[in-house]
Structure 1
Amino acid sequence: MKKILRLFAVILLFITLGSAESIAQNSVQSPTDFLGYELGSQWTPHHKVMDYFWHVAEVSPLVEAKQYGTTNEGRELMLSFVSSEANMARLEEIRMNNLKRTGLLDGESSADTTAIVWLSYNVHGNETSSSEAAMKTIYELVNPDNTETKSWLQNTVVIMDPMLNPDGRDRYVNWYKSVVGDDINVHPDAREHHEPWPGGRTNHYYFDLNRDWAWLTQKESRQRMNEYQKWMPHIHVDFHEQGVNSPYYFAPAAKPFHNAITDWQSEFQYTIGENNAKYFDEKGWLYFTREVFDLFYPSYGDTYPIFNGAIGMTYEQAGNARAGLGITTEEGDTLTLHDRLTHHYTTGLSTIEVSSQNAEQLVSEFANYYQTAQNNPKGDYKTFVIKQDNNPDKLSALFELLEKHKIEYGQAESGATLSGYNYKTGDTERVRVSEGDYLVSAHQPKGVMARILFEPRPELERFCDL
């Protein structure tokens, strides 16, 4: 009888534990339940977006969150990490293994093929729909009723930054709330569609954070870059908005590209674009590709990740500050905030899906990118020389920037006369490298990024297939 009771107790214990896990999963509230209103019916201020992401992290075993900094106005910056329970238990192992794959961390990487997808929302503060979409996206990733997203998370870690520019976003949202009436006015000439200067696009110092990935002049950029370098994702998406009369834009980008972009990076943009197009075609939503968004300047949210081995992409939804909660377009349709966030939500999940389907190749090509950088770097110049007699303050600022990007540099141990490009004259000539001069070699993990920053004559690819 005692044995039977013990067996019953053990069975009951397993049932209780299983039920507790199920209860924990089911207690994750949807954005609508948590906020008390339907997504898209009103703007969600910064603190409520953060509160929702913290709620999901506290309740779901599939999510961890961390605050990585604050803005100039004291608003929180945070990241959420989403994956299967098994992957969450070894999250640090996945991170370190990926850094070993790049050569930025010593040691041999394992055969692990977990893809890392980083989604960045709302870098332009008045392009507000993406932070609303971020809440819907994380909910569907952890929603126990959505078995499809759970299958993707088996081999994928999703990193979400729900709001890169909280100061600009709240500036826009607070202005909009101050001028809108009880009911929105969808007429384009209404006051709520004409945001005054300085607008919410920029941060506290009126700086465009989507021009700052390489230069790191702003507090938000520096704090974010510190986290980015810890992970080095394989996919990075930067969510934006454009004019109210434009269809949705997603990759592939317009050619010609910077000639440092690999064939693989170009080709996989097509793969992702085709998957996005599948969902847009099913819904009858308009979209375009390969028209106006280039991949050349190195300090965007798509190009910087590309020059660090990832598949970097910009997604552009119609809207921007003019759209408000709803606006009539040139075609006579009404574009709503709900429409805008739904489109961003769709491409976000589509990108995670296609990344999961191609995780093994993503990881393999990413590793090959860094092996090539170290062993067989492209470009005409293999070493960049910085004379030690330069202004010491400028040297210090330069080296600080290089260190933030994990670009290695050293000093010449002896003098030599070499043939090289002289930045002052613009000619190739015999130049003297003295002992103690600073050297940046292209033969290093961040060799491509070093080339992008130092090469004197950056080039577009020579063949343009439009």
Structure 2
Amino acid sequence: MVSVAAFAEPLDYFLEAGTSYDQSVLKPADVFGHDIGDQPIRHDLMVSYIRDLAGASNRMTVETIGYSHERRPILFITVSAPENLAKLDEIRANHLLRSNPETTDQALGDLPVITWLNYGVHGAESSGMDAAVPVLYHLAAAKGEKVESMLKNSVLLITAIFNPDGHARRGAWVTQYGSDVRALDPAHEVHNQVWPGGRTNHYWFDLNRQWLLQTQPESRAWLTQWHKWKPQVSADFHEMGPNSTYYFHPGVPTRKYPLIPAKGRELLVELGGYHRQTLDEEKSLYYSEESFDNYYIGKGSTYPQVNGSLGVLFEAGAQMGIARESDQGIKTYAKNVRNHFLTSLSTINGAAAMREKLHAYQGEFYKSAMAAAKEDDVTAYVFRAPEDPVRLHMFIDLLNRHDVKVYALKGDIKAEGRVFSDGAYVVPMNQRQYRMAKALFNRITEFPDKVFYDVSGWTLPLAYGLDYAAFDGNMRGKLGQKADGTFKMVMEPAEAPYAYVFRWSDYYAPRAVAKLLDAGIMARVVKEPVDVQTLSGTVSFDRGAIVVQRDLQTVPAAEIHALMKEVAAENNIQIHAATSGHTLNVGADLGGRNSVADLKPVKPLLVVGGRTSPYDAGEVWHLLDHKMKMPVTLVRQDRLKRLDWNRYTHLILVGNYGPVIPKDMVDDLKAWVKAGGTIIAHRQGAEWVAKNIT
């Protein structure tokens, strides 16, 4: 029999042997009410502890840099010697000189090294979150020349934590199934959290794939801070399969993104020596050059490597509960926390010891980027999306978030057989972020290795549906105003004599239509291209244009006009005022019987749970609910047979790992489709529909 507290450990267990600590510093158990390792640390208690710890320490400051979808704060802690904190802005300004090739040589040589520590990006990997606690206690309370010297030579940037919503789900699960006698059997429920698990955020996004895509508030918060500082070392703490030991970078030598300099890997190997020494002294099993790679640049340990930093991944064998059996015996959550604590210190101390080399590498990284840009046949990438300015500006905003310079195109250029002119934008390769810009636009189709840990392709202008091309000519005189992604506000719509018309190609057109229909306003959709007579002249629309007529409405005209102005401003949609129902196209008048159709409110149902992919389901939920503000009903697979299908207009089936719809429901679903229901399916969901419904 194993008692409740058998795997909890006193604070001393997690700390550095041979170091004395200031006993007046607030201890974690005084706030949590339990030792680390006894139960998961609640996020709200961690926030309280960190704020109290920082408030009483002259070595650290704390600020809230953002909030998760569930409104949990994301804390950013800066740790250094008191004299450094007193001149932090000066240190940062001098440090940033090094990331500009024109000012690199002006940076002071004796600046502290900037070290970044990521904690808790995957909610189910609890030691990746909870290790922040003993690390912060150590940094606040440790005494002696060793820690004083490290703090003098370092500015530590600590985010705690990256994914509070996922951690809250994981903590609640482990607490719910916690037992007086610890459950070591891997089959126990405590080790097997149900769908969607705790790995992802509120909308089931994998936040460790958000460094590149930047659609979630958590990732936007931390990347802003990352580029504000441009740290020289970035450490990322995780858990992996329970039968694995402990991993740290540099990773598989052959699987490295080609724009990462060879010198960066050399320094990763050198930094790895500090981790090896630490874990050898600990007698802990580990490995460092297999399984994990540095190819996909959108994760926390690889993104820094195309941005002048060393990115370091740490992985401990997973512990969903407090302790469990594994192929290597009983593994404990407390041991994982201790290993992450130790490698946090080896990262911090190693970076401080390598300070001069890291300074030199960061300066050379940006200088060599400019040199590589001059050798590149591509001088710029040009892109446009005239049919959807919102999508275009979202992409520009993304480039800005990655510190990539983008400009409005000045004049015309011909690239890849197409002419780009007014309304297009340019990303010149001659910039310090050359490697990042190239990585975002480049198409790589040949690889040195056939095996990848993650994705191997991510050409972002294609993901945004942009028309883009590589330009190999002279860019002199072609760069207009620098673009920052802010929207040029559309003109307020005039009161329509006959009808209001806007394009379906606008990104937020679905959100606008949903709001109009919800307000009881009738709208129609045009099935073919039309030329509409408006107050500003004849305007051409592709099929899918939305028409809000004056006729037959039950909502007063003044209220409709007020709402149209609101919709235009909220969604950046240009709404045109039609003067006549007659179009300049044969058989396509706005009141047409066959060429125009009435729109009805939609009531979509998204299948979740069971064997459905939470990533795929989360993307749909986020799009409809968060972006388009459209209500969508989420229903678990095991509840589908109990539903009244007449309540729903659309069924959404996403990727999955097995059958989605029970066999005895197929005939009912076919009847529902025949009666007018619509199925939207993709990936394995589409395969299932093709085999069973069509």
Structure 1 residue 183, shift from structure 2 partner: 2.4
After superposition, the C-alpha distances for 1:152-209 in whole angstroms (9 at most, x for unaligned) are: 1111111111210000001110111111112211111222111111111000001110
Q: How does 1:33-48 map to 2 (within 5 A)?
A: 33-48=30-45
State the distance in 2 between where 1:63 and 1:303 align.
Answer: 27
> Which residue of the other structure, out of 157, 166, 172, is the alignment partner of 1:174?
172
- The residue number in structure 2 matching 1:196 is 194
After superposition, the C-alpha distances for 1:193-250 in whole angstroms (9 at most, x for unaligned) are: 1111111100000111011111111111112222112111111111100011101000
- The residue number in structure 2 matching 1:385 is 382
> Which residue of the other structure, out of 61, 64, 78, is the alignment partner of 2:61?
64
Is 1:90 matched with 2:87? yes
SS at match of 1:342: helix
State the distance in 2 between where 1:111 and 1:188 align.
Answer: 52
> Which residue of the other structure, out of 434, 438, 442, is the alignment partner of 1:455?
442
2:359 counterpart letter in structure 1: V
Tell me the percent identity. Answer: 31
SS at match of 1:364: helix
Q: How does 1:76-115 map to 2 (within 5 A)?
A: 76-103=73-100, 108-115=106-113
1:444 counterpart letter in structure 2: Q
Q: Which has the higher contact order (CA 8 A, sep 6+)?
A: 1
- The residue number in structure 2 matching 1:446 is 433
SS at match of 1:279: helix
- The residue number in structure 1 matching 2:634 is none
- The residue number in structure 2 matching 1:19 is none
- The residue number in structure 2 matching 1:398 is 395
8 A Cα contact 2:124 2:166, kept in partner:
yes
1:175 counterpart letter in structure 2: W
The alpha-carbon distance between structure 1 residues 100 and 408, as it changes in their structure 2 partners (threshold 3 A), is same
The alpha-carbon distance between structure 1 residues 115 and 461, as it changes in their structure 2 partners (threshold 3 A), is farther
The alpha-carbon distance between structure 1 residues 97 and 462, as it changes in their structure 2 partners (threshold 3 A), is farther
1:156 counterpart letter in structure 2: S
State the distance in 2 between where 1:376 and 1:305 align.
Answer: 18
Is 1:343 matched with 2:343? no
**Structure 1 unaligned blocks of 5 or more:** 1-23, 423-429
**Structure 2 unaligned blocks of 5 or more:** 1-20, 452-694
User: For structure 1, which segment, 103-112 or 311-320, has the greater mean C-alpha deviation from structure 2 after superposition?
Assistant: 103-112
- The residue number in structure 2 matching 1:127 is 125
The alpha-carbon distance between structure 1 residues 98 and 145, as it changes in their structure 2 partners (threshold 3 A), is closer
- The residue number in structure 2 matching 1:312 is 311
- The residue number in structure 2 matching 1:269 is 268
- The residue number in structure 1 matching 2:409 is 412
- The residue number in structure 2 matching 1:229 is 227
User: For structure 1, which segment, 92-101 or 355-364, has the greater mean C-alpha deviation from structure 2 after superposition?
Assistant: 92-101
State the distance in 2 between where 1:155 and 1:149 align.
Answer: 10
- The residue number in structure 1 matching 2:368 is 372
User: For structure 1, which segment, 126-135 or 110-119, has the greater mean C-alpha deviation from structure 2 after superposition?
Assistant: 110-119
Say which one has the larger Rg: 2
SS at match of 2:157: strand
Structure 1 residue 27, shift from structure 2 partner: 2.8
8 A Cα contact 1:257 1:461, kept in partner:
no
The alpha-carbon distance between structure 1 residues 402 and 390, as it changes in their structure 2 partners (threshold 3 A), is farther
The total of aligned residue pairs comes to 428
8 A Cα contact 1:414 1:436, kept in partner:
no
User: For structure 1, which segment, 407-416 or 116-125, has the greater mean C-alpha deviation from structure 2 after superposition?
Assistant: 407-416
Structure 1 residue 445, shift from structure 2 partner: 2.1
8 A Cα contact 1:156 1:356, kept in partner:
yes
1:312 counterpart letter in structure 2: G
State the distance in 1 between where 2:29 and 2:87 align.
Answer: 32
The alpha-carbon distance between structure 1 residues 222 and 126, as it changes in their structure 2 partners (threshold 3 A), is same
8 A Cα contact 1:141 1:150, kept in partner:
no
User: For structure 1, which segment, 142-151 or 167-176, has the greater mean C-alpha deviation from structure 2 after superposition?
Assistant: 142-151
- The residue number in structure 1 matching 2:148 is 150
State the distance in 2 between where 1:105 and 1:137 align.
Answer: 37
Structure 1 residue 146, shift from structure 2 partner: 4.8
8 A Cα contact 1:119 1:160, kept in partner:
yes
- The residue number in structure 1 matching 2:277 is 278
Structure 1 residue 256, shift from structure 2 partner: 2.2
SS at match of 2:297: coil
8 A Cα contact 2:408 2:423, kept in partner:
yes
1:345 counterpart letter in structure 2: F
SS at match of 1:102: coil
State the distance in 1 between where 2:127 and 2:255 align.
Answer: 30
1:288 counterpart letter in structure 2: Y
- The residue number in structure 2 matching 1:245 is 243
> Which residue of the other structure, out of 198, 212, 215, is the alignment partner of 1:214?
212
Structure 1 residue 460, shift from structure 2 partner: 4.8
Greater helix share, structure number:
1
Structure 1 residue 435, shift from structure 2 partner: 5.7
Q: How does 1:325-340 map to 2 (within 5 A)?
A: 325-331=322-328, 333-340=329-336
User: For structure 1, which segment, 354-363 or 405-414, has the greater mean C-alpha deviation from structure 2 after superposition?
Assistant: 405-414
